[in-house]
Amino acid sequence: MRRREFIGKAALASFTLTAGTGIVYGELMPKGYVPLLMQDPDPFKMFSIDKDMTVLNDRPWNIESKAHLLNDAVTPNKFMFIRNNGLLPEAIDVDTWTLTIDGESAKQKKTYTLNELKTRFPQYTYHLTLECGGNGRKEFNPPAKGNQWGVGAVHCSKWTGIRLRDVLEDVGVKNDAVYIGYHAADIHLSRSPDKEPISRGCPMEKAYQDETLLAFQLNGEDIPLAHGYPLRLVAGGWPASVSGKWVQRISIRNIVHDGTKMMGTAYRVPCKPVAPGEKVADEDMCIIESMPVKSLITYPKTGALLTLGQELTINGHAWAGELEVAKMEYSIDFGSTWHACELKAPVNRLAWQQFSANISFPQEGYYEVWAKATDSNGKSQPMLLPGWNPKGYLNNACHRIAVKVS
Amino acid sequence: MSKKEDFLQQLKTLSNSLVWLSSIILFIGIFILVMALNPDIKLFKSSPEITEADVEKDTIVNINSNDIKDGIHTETGFVAGDGLDEVIGNCTNCHSAKLVTQNRMSRDGWLATIRWMQETQNLWDLGDQEDIILDYLATHYAPEDKGRRENLIVEEWYELK
């Protein structure tokens, strides 16, 4: 018996003793379950993340950043949100790691070693905005089920890898291809080997984009384990769940990929708008593609105390899924008047854009600084919550910070 | 050799064996105790490729599961109340207690979530504990009306120079 298992079992017994009650229905528990109480690693050390990050969930790991931590144009690992659907892969050997391309619409099944991928195809680097589909879920009313993300489930880091398109073309794609779906090395929460925690993908059009990468590196270093080491699909501007971590297999499908979390209500919103709390049938839910326009004030941190006459410089980022942000504005009177911010062009397509503004306050008092981005199609962020949906996706309501002037 | 001597010889062999046996049991006992108290001691060298997941699996803490402070179960963060044991026993095996405590649902919503976990996530039949669990969740983790946009909550005001 391995030591860890032994301790697990010993602890299970002691839990039974100290809690004064048996694990209810313990006999119905599949073998290999170790109650979560027995795992308490330090995620800040384990993932090398900043102590101000918020742990929403420790099994699976879901850790959120905060607006003021995201001030860098290129998000460093220590401030990147972590969203996992399953348990981390347990034994990764880069020497034996392979990527297999298969599926109904692949002209052949082909397997590449990591080294082959790195040496046979040209490499590219892009800054790509990845936002969790459920970022902002916390604000929905009635509340939506899932990790209650605030504003910090977004990052824009520098990804290096090869184009997915180059690999797909090397394998050969049949004319009837409609979608790609990834399969990865993470482990289902139930530890059942028959279940995948998540297996999503994107239409061929997105798969063929220049910026859709099979990435090996994040910000110039090996991708950290929590973000998909050693190989991650990265599809900027779409829900981050499209960017599959620890990818081992990509299937070229002749149907919309039907993997775990592609179906039902997962990463889907009602095809037609619904009233808050309304029940929506699965067949009336549509897959989220490009994320909506959004922005974040990353400086200063909310709660700033100023003196009258002191000018406030704000800055932050704005992004718009597949589109570009065309206009950035701020308001200090709850949207009665809006003022232009300075807005930079993106470093590359699908990268977030930096904005800044200098604000003077007319008199003492409590203010909120609201930020509003408008995309290249003329759509702006709503000031209130956007359309309610059962799983609480796509909250792109204006970000705001509180300021007091005295 | 007389029968008596033979008997004494056998007795000596037996008692020697017993001493050895109990020493071995004692040694194993001490070893297990040391290992249980110091989970960081590595017996076997892992493969050179150590993933962070290994660290995760390796770190197992002792449990003081009955601690309750200010109405909150310390270990899990659950609200103390009727059904707490049943909730811990059934709901923290696959996922963190945090997945429960950060959510707010009606009784129907919690039931739908349990059914979804049973249909897709390998959750077992909760038997007659299901009602106890639902009562607990619907009592302590019920939704509140938040309106279309809440007031900002500022945790800390600070002077900006």
Q: What is the pLDDT of residue A206?
A: 98
The two tokens of residue B138 are: 């619907």
H, E, C per residue of chain B: CCHHHHHHHHHHHHHHHHHHHHHHHHHHHHHHHHHHHCCCCCCCCCCCCCCHHHHHHHCECCCCCCCEECCEECCCCCECCCCHHHHHHHHCCCCCHHHHHCCCCCHHHHHHHHHHHHHHCCCCCCCCHHHHHHHHHHHHCCCCCCCCCCCCCCCCCEECC
A350-388 pLDDT, tens digit per residue, is 999 999 999 999 999 999 999 999 999 999 999 999 999
Contact B160 A29 (CB under 8 A): no
Q: What is the pLDDT of residue A40?
A: 52
How close B107 comes to chain A (CA, Å)? 13
Which of B57, B92, B93 is facing A4, going by the closest CB pair?
Answer: B57
Beta strand segments in A292-406, E: 294-299, 304-306, 312-319, 325-331, 339-340, 342-343, 353-359, 365-375, 399-405
* Cβ-contact A149, A294 below 8 angstroms: no
Neighbours of A207 (CB within 10 A): 23
Please state, in angstroms and rounded to a whole number, the distance separating the CA atoms of residues A294 and A382: 9
Set of chain B residues whose Cβ sits within 8 Å of the Cβ of A404? 157
Q: What is the pLDDT of residue B37?
A: 59
For the four alpha carbons of B99, B105, B106 and B108, in that order, the dihedral sign comes to negative
How close B136 comes to chain A (CA, Å)? 15
Binned at pLDDT 50, 70 and 90, residue B20 comes out as confident
Domain ranges across chain A: 98-287, 294-405
Binned at pLDDT 50, 70 and 90, residue B3 comes out as low
Angle value at C-alpha A143, between A138 and A144, nearest 5 degrees:
85
* Cβ-contact A164, A111 below 8 angstroms: no
Which CATH fold would you assign to the domain B63-140? Answer: Cytochrome Bc1 Complex; Chain D, domain 2 (1.10.760)
A305-316 pLDDT, tens digit per residue, is 999 999 999 999
Angle at which helices A3-19 and B3-37 pack, to 10 degrees?
Answer: 80
Q: Which residues of chain A have pLDDT under 70?
A: 1-40
Which of B45, B108, B122 is the best substitution to test chain A (most A C-beta atoms within 10 A)? B122
Please state, in angstroms and rounded to a whole number, the distance separating the CA atoms of residues A309 and A218: 43
User: Among A61-70, A298-307, B18-27, B142-151, whose mean pLDDT is lowest?
Assistant: B18-27
Contact B61 A190 (CB under 8 A): no
Average pLDDT, integer, range B37-51: 45
B70-106 pLDDT, tens digit per residue, is 999 999 999 999 999 999 999 999 999 999 999 999 9
Contact A36 B127 (CB under 8 A): no
Q: What is the pLDDT of residue B47?
A: 39
With 70 as the cut, is the pLDDT of residue B49 above it?
Answer: no
Q: What is the pLDDT of residue A5?
A: 39
Which of B56, B91, B137 is the best substitution to test chain A (most A C-beta atoms within 10 A)? B56
Which residue in chain A has the smallest CA separation from B52?
A: A46
The yes or no reply on domain A98-287 and CATH 3.30.110.60 is: no
Contact A8 B60 (CB under 8 A): yes
Which of A8, A40, A305 is facing B158, going by the closest CB pair?
Answer: A305
Q: Which of A251, A257, A248, A204 is nearest to A103 (CA)?
A: A251
What residues does A179 pair with on adjacent strands? A203, A253
Contact B88 A37 (CB under 8 A): yes
**Kind plus residue range of the DSSP H or E element containing A56:** strand A54-58
| Domain boundaries A294-405, CATH class | mainly beta
Q: What is the pLDDT of residue A340?
A: 98
Q: What is the pLDDT of residue A41?
A: 78
